[in-house]
Amino acid sequence: MVSQDQIQVHVLPSYQQLDRNFVINSSPRTRIVLPKGTGYNYTRYRLVLSSAQRRKFAATTTVETGRFYSGTRDQLILDTAVRPRTGVVLYMYGEWNRIGLPQSPRFTTKLYRTILDTQFNPWIQLSNNIQYDSVSAIMGWQSRFRWILRPGNDLYVVYTHNWVDDPVLDRFVTQDRKAASKILYTYRF
């Protein structure tokens, strides 16, 4: 049996010609604009270590470094999946970027995501996704319920809630909440 574990090494040469201004938000209040018409030629280097996704605990680690437009970027990604029992999967993802551009001091961006997928039977599924990123300072939660009434006939109920990290209040404050439902009906003739 093949283990399906992998080690990958990538050399990623890139060339990009900006056809419009490219805006990079280094923080909720700071924007860097790379001008339209500028060409960037750079190379990045990536190392990926991953275990087989079929295991109860699977993980992928990605380390990438190199040039990034007119500066540099170092990136670390940790992506895990835990399967405690059939029908339940917990995904956890973290991404950290350290970016240096001549137009600004070095800055760090962070992205965190957790997804809990629960399949109660082949017809009913509940998925919860929570995500936070440091640039927008917004944490969002989406809960999606799916019930397959018959193949081709589905009922969806989705709830979304977003919070903004308010530095003045030193806590998360609700930004918006929404609920929606959808019925998918297939008519065969």
| Residue 67 within any structural domain of the chain | yes
HEC string for the chain: CCCCCEEEEEEEEEEEECCCCEEEEEECCEEEEECCCCEEEEEEEEEEEECCCCCCEEEEEEEEEEEECCEEEEEEEEEEEEEEECCEEEEEEEEEEEEEECCEEEEEEEEEEEEEEEEEECCEEEEEEEEEECCCCEEEEEEEEEEEEECCEEEEEEEEEEEEEECCCCEEEEEEEEEEEEEECCCCC
What's the CA gap between 155 and 168, in Å, rounded?
41
pLDDT attached to residue 123: 96
The domain spanning residue 147 has which CATH number? 2.40.160
Total domains present in the chain: 1
pTM, two decimal places: 0.83
- Six-digit token string for 27: 């923080």
Decide: 148 and 126 in contact? Cβ < 8 Å.
no
| Residue 189 within any structural domain of the chain | no
pLDDT attached to residue 28: 63
| Residue 1 within any structural domain of the chain | no
**pLDDT tens, position by position, for the chain (189 residues)?**
678 889 999 999 999 999 999 888 776 667 888 889 899 999 999 999 999 888 999 999 999 999 998 899 999 999 999 999 999 999 999 999 999 988 888 889 999 999 999 999 999 999 999 999 988 889 999 999 999 998 889 999 999 999 998 888 888 999 999 999 999 988 888
Q: Which domain holds residue 61?
A: 6-184
| Residue 51 within any structural domain of the chain | yes
Maximum distance among all alpha carbons in the chain? 63
